Structure 1
């Protein structure tokens, strides 16, 4: 009796699960296997994991280059990379990950009928890890493209790829979250899923139940090197915008604001008069950048861009990045506790470059924070692009030591007040409230950030 009930309940549960068979049959013909060849690495280099250089240790791009171990004394052959991709137009345009084809001397695309074609790299964008290839062919099968912006957590999704070289392997799961921000990935709000992803799935499509591509499988979270239930896909909306720019211009242009930002925690929210922690706190405004020209100031909290709310500070870069350079954007901000709107003309993201400055110390003054400070010299102000401020020369036992301040740190703001001289710093420090969050802006090696602390009774 009990066995019969269990059988019926199991059948009912199975009946509620989606049938992926039609989706796989219709979509598989447009999913391809990608392999690359490149010159053998220099002696002593590791040819097995060239994709991993520069990545955070805990976020390994999981599609390692699959090369058999060569016996000692034999010459290492050209490196081969294995990944996936999908055809987006019948005249041969293919999307994949940049790290699948990076530094390749030859790119080979294998179609489902096992025929192979050499592909041309139209262009690649390392910032989003998207690459666009072109096959010299026509009448090819294509995938249907969906809208990643309509995805919701809990939806079923399916991946097709070539893990470990096993062509057209199908795995399924659900959307775990959307808009996920990863370390060192400022311009991609990733789709997080629990779809099983392994080496070789890189660059392959992520489908919704309608058979539409909603993402490109790109990364996994792992401590072991294998799948641990957290995979990340590039939203197709972003990937197609990149592909369109690569096809028409050969490069990708992004909007740029010219600020250094940080998250707003509970203490900072209280200090800046916010109801809850939200937004991107402006810790530094780059001289001559769009933000500076538009009137944005240090200490402003950006809460929205063109009506899109900013919950975490990491939301700001990809929102600004999607705006075309030389376009105007409406920024909702909080300044001195008041909500305001600024109209800023967005600039074009500059090439690589970062300004780093340090400073020394001189004349001292003391205060109840437990630090000794000196005023910045004219030369220091010029090198740091600061109108004023004080540099910490000594940290003693007290609140400053507890919050991690160091000699050489430059303090430009305290309790929402600009610090121009040592006497101003001492006066503001003496008036700090007790048992209430206080903000301080600190410049360390040229990079600014806000911190908060409380003075006990």
Structure 2
């Protein structure tokens, strides 16, 4: 089956067809011998492939193409006419008639002798029936245990008469660029096809929030989707999922879900029938040189907290807006995509150590991921937040309100505009925004003529209501590479002016 993704020339590598499985191989027995080579001419994976082939299966599905809902008029054929049976078959669902089932082919592999099989979600998506064909030609009906569309993985279950030859996962974190890998699958219905290549790159992203693909030049075509990518130890280090191709065929750029990501997802699908991911309830930004300098750090490593989602796991602590997260639970954080992935894989409800940089000082805090409600995930702009951290938690949680906590930026102190502030500075009732309570002499704010008692109404044409709003918007602008920001400021009597604050 072929499934397009929102990435130029990228397609999922399953294939349509009704071709029978062709793979025949001897049962898996004993350890898989590592493929060794003195030079390129000596490369052979014959022994390894012979042992692994029985663990790779062909997957075929059928689904109604919707033609059963066809409301076109059916021709009336007089009873007893020669073509009466033909018309009846075609228009009333007889052999060769409507509705027309659609069949598709893909690949999978056995991970448990009792009949647990892994494949891609897009291979079996919307299937009415799923059939698994083993390497010896045996066909078994499969039931779906669970799917995860975020990583495009699915787990099936068949009921074999005897234990099936299963493969084991390797550690994709140990895979090096340039290492030999082997792909086995069912391209174009040609079951048991083996291709050899190398790891071309790691950490590739396409269109998913948790993407961390292995890129390989081993030939992957339509029908290979869901098949395994092996290292030279015969261990599964990836699940072949997508290709980059202008024609739909292999041009040597294929993508596999790494085992480091897949194993945890597969275990959860087997146990729960769904994935259970954690989240922290924060919006994170890439740390540019300018943003790092503004937050008191000379090294633009980690990710910065742009804002904290109200009612989320981190509402009320331990993070503050502007913190830079350097490590989560021992994992270094190098980009905004890293944090959601590590948090998603962490243990829900158990505290994790998080190394942060706050006001130029390194410290370690504990954060407890909570269960992410997957349907609430909302896609966000890459420059402002990693996608899963835009999840909206259930409202109504009794969490502390941080709107009245003062914020210091560019020599000015910002506070909530409340009744006391209005009385102190005689601010009119029609003035809304964030109150400037202090301005340091000689600061950037003072140089722009900002004074205590003034109210910031807008930052870069966006209305603000709390000190945290002002800081969040300025932090995002810095992350975007902006050198200055326009502030719409109201005097106590309501007169408006726009000042430009240099972002250094």
Aligned residue among 178, 187, 206 for 2:210: 187
Q: Does 1:307 align with 2:330?
A: yes
Q: 1:270 to 1:42 in 2, by over 3 A?
A: farther
Once residues 109 and 231 of structure 2 are traced to their aligned partners in structure 1, the CA distance between those partners, rounded to angstroms, is 15
State the match for 1:129 in structure 2.
Answer: 152
Q: 1:432 to 1:135 in 2, by over 3 A?
A: farther
Shift of 1:418: 7.0
Q: 1:207, 1:215 within 8 Å by CA — same for their partners in 2?
A: yes
Once residues 24 and 177 of structure 1 are traced to their aligned partners in structure 2, the CA distance between those partners, rounded to angstroms, is 23
Q: 2:64, 2:99 within 8 Å by CA — same for their partners in 1?
A: no
Q: 1:94, 1:134 within 8 Å by CA — same for their partners in 2?
A: yes
Q: 1:294, 1:345 within 8 Å by CA — same for their partners in 2?
A: no
State the match for 1:69 in structure 2.
Answer: none
Shift of 1:432: 7.4
State the match for 1:424 in structure 2.
Answer: 436
State the match for 2:61 in structure 1.
Answer: 36
Aligned residue among 180, 186, 197 for 1:162: 186
SS in 2 for 1:187: coil
State the match for 1:89 in structure 2.
Answer: 112
Shift of 1:119: 0.5
Shift of 1:352: 2.2
Once residues 198 and 418 of structure 1 are traced to their aligned partners in structure 2, the CA distance between those partners, rounded to angstroms, is 60
SS in 2 for 1:451: helix
Once residues 334 and 442 of structure 1 are traced to their aligned partners in structure 2, the CA distance between those partners, rounded to angstroms, is 30
Q: 1:422 to 1:103 in 2, by over 3 A?
A: same
Q: 1:107, 1:120 within 8 Å by CA — same for their partners in 2?
A: yes
TM-score (norm 1): 0.70
Q: Which moved more, 1:103-112 or 1:240-249?
A: 240-249
Q: 1:413 to 1:225 in 2, by over 3 A?
A: farther
Q: 2:410, 2:445 within 8 Å by CA — same for their partners in 1?
A: no
Q: 1:302, 1:310 within 8 Å by CA — same for their partners in 2?
A: yes
Residue by residue, what CA displacement relative to the aligned partner does 1:238-296 show, whole Å, maximum 9, x if unpaired?
Answer: 32222222222222211111111121123222322333322122112111211224321
SS in 2 for 1:292: coil
Aligned residue among 297, 310, 318 for 2:341: 318
Residue by residue, what CA displacement relative to the aligned partner does 1:371-414 show, whole Å, maximum 9, x if unpaired?
Answer: xxxxxxxxxxxxxx98389xxxxxxxxxxxxxxxxxxxxxx996
Once residues 119 and 426 of structure 1 are traced to their aligned partners in structure 2, the CA distance between those partners, rounded to angstroms, is 69
Q: 1:135 to 1:19 in 2, by over 3 A?
A: same
Shift of 1:124: 1.2
Q: 1:442, 1:451 within 8 Å by CA — same for their partners in 2?
A: no
Aligned residues: CA RMSD:
3.6
SS in 2 for 1:139: coil
Once residues 232 and 301 of structure 1 are traced to their aligned partners in structure 2, the CA distance between those partners, rounded to angstroms, is 31
SS in 2 for 1:23: helix
Once residues 46 and 447 of structure 2 are traced to their aligned partners in structure 1, the CA distance between those partners, rounded to angstroms, is 67
Q: 1:90 to 1:416 in 2, by over 3 A?
A: farther
Q: 1:220 to 1:332 in 2, by over 3 A?
A: same
State the match for 1:139 in structure 2.
Answer: 163
Q: 2:412, 2:445 within 8 Å by CA — same for their partners in 1?
A: no
SS in 2 for 1:243: helix
State the match for 1:6 in structure 2.
Answer: none
Q: Does 1:240 align with 2:263?
A: yes
Q: 1:26 to 1:355 in 2, by over 3 A?
A: closer
SS in 1 for 2:252: coil
Q: 1:152 to 1:39 in 2, by over 3 A?
A: same
TM-score (norm 2): 0.64
Once residues 129 and 418 of structure 1 are traced to their aligned partners in structure 2, the CA distance between those partners, rounded to angstroms, is 48
Aligned residue among 277, 287, 299 for 2:310: 287
Q: 1:243 to 1:444 in 2, by over 3 A?
A: farther
Q: 1:419, 1:425 within 8 Å by CA — same for their partners in 2?
A: yes
Once residues 416 and 158 of structure 1 are traced to their aligned partners in structure 2, the CA distance between those partners, rounded to angstroms, is 60
SS in 2 for 1:22: helix
Structure 1 segment 17-416 matched on structure 2, within 5 A: 17-41=42-66, 75=98, 77-137=100-160, 138-183=162-207, 185-353=208-376, 387=403, 415=410
Q: 1:148, 1:235 within 8 Å by CA — same for their partners in 2?
A: yes
Shift of 1:179: 3.2
Once residues 86 and 252 of structure 1 are traced to their aligned partners in structure 2, the CA distance between those partners, rounded to angstroms, is 20
SS in 2 for 1:450: helix
State the match for 1:54 in structure 2.
Answer: none
Once residues 151 and 118 of structure 2 are traced to their aligned partners in structure 1, the CA distance between those partners, rounded to angstroms, is 12
Once residues 38 and 366 of structure 2 are traced to their aligned partners in structure 1, the CA distance between those partners, rounded to angstroms, is 57
Shift of 1:224: 4.9
Q: 1:167 to 1:444 in 2, by over 3 A?
A: farther
Answer with 1 or 2: which has the greater Rg: 2
Residue by residue, what CA displacement relative to the aligned partner does 1:396-440 show, whole Å, maximum 9, x if unpaired?
Answer: xxxxxxxxxxxxxxxx9965977555663996764579xxxxxx8
